[in-house]
Amino acid sequence: MPASAPGATLRGFQPRDVPVVSHIVAESLHEHYDSSLYFSLSQQWPSGFLIAADPSGTPVGFLLGVTQIEGEARILMFAVERNWRTRGVGTALMNEFLERCRVRGMRRATLEVRVSNVSAIRFYTRFRFGVTDLLRGYYSDGESGYQMARDLR
């Protein structure tokens, strides 16, 4: 069994997780995606879609990574339900994800984050991600983003 955070257990994504994951995405990332997106992305790299679940099995956070470039993992979505934040769930998800990237021989991990998302930028910096680019007007509401990346060796 993969790592765990206090009160939460990490496991792979299952189709029945979609409604709760969609809710976390709406509440935390203010985005709305069709259910089919989660199914198709989970098939692309099943080990890259990690769920943190409470003792009843209900998702309280998740990290969805994809591989679009050879040797490179991209974190597409990452969020923890508000009431579960700052308890180490995000750290457990990120540690497990980076380990899975290494096991698969990935050399680099990337992500995008809103320039205003100071807490997430601080979190990623703690995980040795650094800003590699400014993405002007990257988000649908016009806000710019940072691309961040780190080596995995």
Ligand X SMILES: CC(C)(COP(=O)(O)OP(=O)(O)OC[C@H]1O[C@@H](n2cnc3c(N)ncnc32)[C@H](O)[C@@H]1OP(=O)(O)O)[C@@H](O)C(=O)NCCC(=O)NCCS
Q: CB atoms < 10 A from the CB of 78, how many?
A: 22
Confirm if 149 and 108 have CB atoms less than 8 A apart.
yes
Confirm if 29 and 75 have CB atoms less than 8 A apart.
no
When the beta carbons of 65 and 90 are compared against ligand X, the nearer one is 90
Return residues touching ligand X (CB under 6 A).
28-29, 78-80, 85-91, 113, 117, 119-120, 122-123, 126
When the beta carbons of 67 and 117 are compared against ligand X, the nearer one is 117
Q: What minimum distance in Å lies between the beta carbon of 125 and ligand X? A: 8
> Residue number with the shortest CB distance to ligand X?
90
When the beta carbons of 81 and 100 are compared against ligand X, the nearer one is 81
Confirm if 149 and 130 have CB atoms less than 8 A apart.
yes
Q: What minimum distance in Å lies between the beta carbon of 53 and ligand X? A: 13
The encoded tokens of residue 86 equal: 């700052």
Q: What minimum distance in Å lies between the beta carbon of 121 and ligand X? A: 8
When the beta carbons of 6 and 105 are compared against ligand X, the nearer one is 6
Q: What minimum distance in Å lies between the beta carbon of 67 and ligand X? A: 18
Which residue has 């956070």 as its token pair? Answer: 61
When the beta carbons of 18 and 79 are compared against ligand X, the nearer one is 79
Q: What minimum distance in Å lies between the beta carbon of 140 and ligand X? A: 14
